């Protein structure tokens, strides 16, 4: 059983075939899928799984901190299974593809106290915009 499923069971998750399949889809491929893409891949393994269940499951995984929700400027949210390793995103303005990247340095260092306006800063999300190799041709 995957690490993800082990952690979920440890938190008292009822393990159903649907949840197992969603977890496997996310675990198997470190790509950033939309809910609908997760559903499409899940259906290949479990034909009767519903969209609602996929949405419910993804929402729970986000709440539990196992998966990150990535809202790009596109339409559908994407889900990032790489929640346990700090990273930032590279988003293709052409096709919406997302890649994980690991910039150097601490982005918070770029924001001096005078620019914090009394906020207690907890983190920074960086989205690098550009064109992927395919779209830049």
What residue ranges bind DNA (CB under 7 A)? Answer: 9, 13-19, 34-36, 46, 48-53, 55-57, 59, 75-77
Range in contact with its own copies (rule: CB under 8 A) among 3-11, 12-20, 78-86, 94-102 = 94-102
80 strand-pairing partners: 68
Q: Give me 5's structure tokens.
A: 């499923």
Show the binding pattern over residues 45-64: x = contacts its own copies (CB under 8 A), - = does not.
--------------------
For residues 72 and 98, is the Cβ–Cβ distance under 8 A? yes
As a whole number of angstroms, the distance between CA 22 and CA 53 comes to 9
DSSP-derived secondary structure letter, 71? -
Instruction: Note the residues at the interface with its own copies (CB under 8 A).
Output: 69, 71-73, 77, 90, 92-93, 99, 101-105, 107-108, 110-112, 115-133, 136
């Amino acid at each position: 059983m995957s690490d993800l499923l082990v952690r979920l069971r440890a938190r008292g998750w009822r393990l159903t075939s649907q949840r197992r399949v969603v977890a496997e889809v996310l675990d198997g491929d470190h790509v950033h899928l939309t809910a609908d893409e997760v559903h499409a891949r899940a259906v290949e393994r479990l034909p009767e799984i519903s969209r609602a269940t996929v949405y419910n499951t993804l929402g729970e995984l986000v709440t539990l901190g196992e998966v990150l929700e990535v809202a790009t400027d596109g339409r559908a949210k994407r889900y990032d299974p790489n929640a346990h390793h700090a990273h930032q995103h590279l988003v293709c303005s052409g096709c919406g593809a997302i890649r994980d990247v690991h910039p150097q340095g601490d982005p918070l260092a770029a924001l001096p106290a005078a620019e914090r306006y009394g906020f207690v800063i907890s983190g920074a999300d960086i989205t690098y915009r550009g064109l992927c190799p395919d779209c830049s041709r």
